[in-house]
Amino acid sequence: MTSDTFDPDVFLQLGRDVLQRQPFSVLLGAELTHLMPGDVELQLPLRDDLKQQDGFAHGGVVSYLADNALTFAGGTAMRVPVVTSEFKINYLKPAMGERLVVRAKAVGVGRSQTVCRCDVFSVLGHEETLCAVAQGTISKRGDAPPA
């Protein structure tokens, strides 16, 4: 795909195809709702089986969303096959509501690594509440072990 033929709809569809080839993302029900190079939004309707014992989304669901969003942001920023090298997440508030939304952006794009940040929001009706923030490194495959 060269820059003169860049088609945002095709790009988003390619991303959705990747997401659908991740059985775990299908199990959880994640949806790719925005994708541009280094800029991604994923959504996840909050089902009961994604929760912990207090009725909030399990921390592992929130970290899954962060991990996946960072990886899509880094991969589309570098346009090469990538793996997630590492990330760090801070939980701010209980993740709840009808769905979770995560928005990730590449903040430092390198030749073999890209550093990305993301924000995870609880969504209820039209209201979004920031519930977690994360930051991590996405590496070109071959330069780091796959994850």
Q: Interface residues with a second copy (CB under 8 A)?
A: 18, 21-28, 48-54, 56-65, 67-68, 71, 83-95, 107-108, 110-113, 115, 117, 130-137, 139, 143-147
HEC string of the chain equals CCHHHCCHHHHHHHHHHHHHCCHHHHHHCCEEEEEECCEEEEEEECCHHHECCCCCECHHHHHHHHHHHHHHHHHHHHCCCEEEEEEEEEECCCCCECEEEEEEEEEEECCCEEEEEEEEEEEECCEEEEEEEEEEEEEEECCECCC
Q: Which is nearer to a second copy, 4 or 21 (CB)?
A: 21
> Least distance from C-beta 9 to a second copy, angstroms?
21
Q: Which is nearer to a second copy, 6 or 112 (CB)?
A: 112
Q: Which is nearer to a second copy, 10 or 107 (CB)?
A: 107
Q: How many CB atoms lie within 10 A of CB 98?
A: 10
> Least distance from C-beta 4 to a second copy, angstroms?
29
Which two three-digit tokens encode residue 67? 């991990």
> Least distance from C-beta 28 to a second copy, angstroms?
8
Q: Which is nearer to a second copy, 8 or 22 (CB)?
A: 22
> Least distance from C-beta 114 to a second copy, angstroms?
9
Q: Which is nearer to a second copy, 37 or 110 (CB)?
A: 110
> Least distance from C-beta 21 to a second copy, angstroms?
4
